Amino acid sequence: MIANPLVGSLGIGDSIFCLSTAQSSPAQAALLANLDTLSMDFAARQKVSGVNMSFYFVNQFPILPPDFYTASRLAFITPKVLELTYTSHSLAPFARDLGHDGPPFPWDEDRRALLRAELDAFYARAYGLTRDELRYILDPADVKGPDYPSETFRVLKEKEIRTHGEYRTRRLVLEAWDRMEANCEFKAMGM
C-alpha cells in the first residue's frame, strides 16, 4: 500500500501502473515532457533489464526536480506539451488547467515531430549533454562510425527511413539544438 494525498491509500504491485504528482499543471506538463524525451528513453534503457517497468527503476531515472523549472523554462515547455497532448475534447480539463480555452489541436505529424524535437533538444541540454553526446544517443554510428555494433533507436530509425527517406528525428532534434544554440535560447533559459 502506498499513500497518495490525492486519492488516499492504494494497493499496487511493484510495476509502475500509475504515476501521480501533486505539482501544478505546468509542472505536470514538464514531468510528462521529461518522461517522454529520447534522453530519458536512453537512460531508461540503461536501467531496465526486461519488459517490466518496476517503480524502483523509475526511482533511478534522471527526472529533473520541480525546482529546475523556472518561469522561462515552463514558458518554453508548456505550450509544446499542450499542443502535443490536447488533441481530443476529452483532455479539455487538462488544457484549461494549462490556461487554454480553445479547441483541441489538429493532429499534424510534421508539426508534432518539430515540437518533440524541440523538447528533445531542450532536455538534452538540461541534462548537460553536448551536441556530440546527443548525436551518440540518437545514433551511435553517427559518432563512432558505420561499423559501430550498437543502435539506440533502431526501430524508429528504420521506420523513418522507410517513411521519410531519412532518419528524420535525428535531423530535426539536431536542427532544433543548433537553432536554439544560435538564437541563444538555451542561454536565455539559464542552460
Number of domains in the chain: 1
- Per-residue pLDDT, averaged over 23-47, amounts to 90
Angstrom CA distances, 16 to 37, 52, 59, 170, stand at: 18, 8, 10, 29
Identify whether the C-beta of residue 129 lies closer than 8 Å to the C-beta of residue 39. Answer: yes
Total-model pTM: 0.86
**Chain segment 145-188, per-residue pLDDT in tens:** 989 988 889 999 999 999 999 999 999 999 999 999 999 999 99
- Torsion 135-136-137-142 (CA) sign: positive
Domain, as residue range, for 44: 2-188
| Residues 5, 21: Cα–Cα separation, whole Å | 9
Residue 78 pLDDT more than 80?
yes
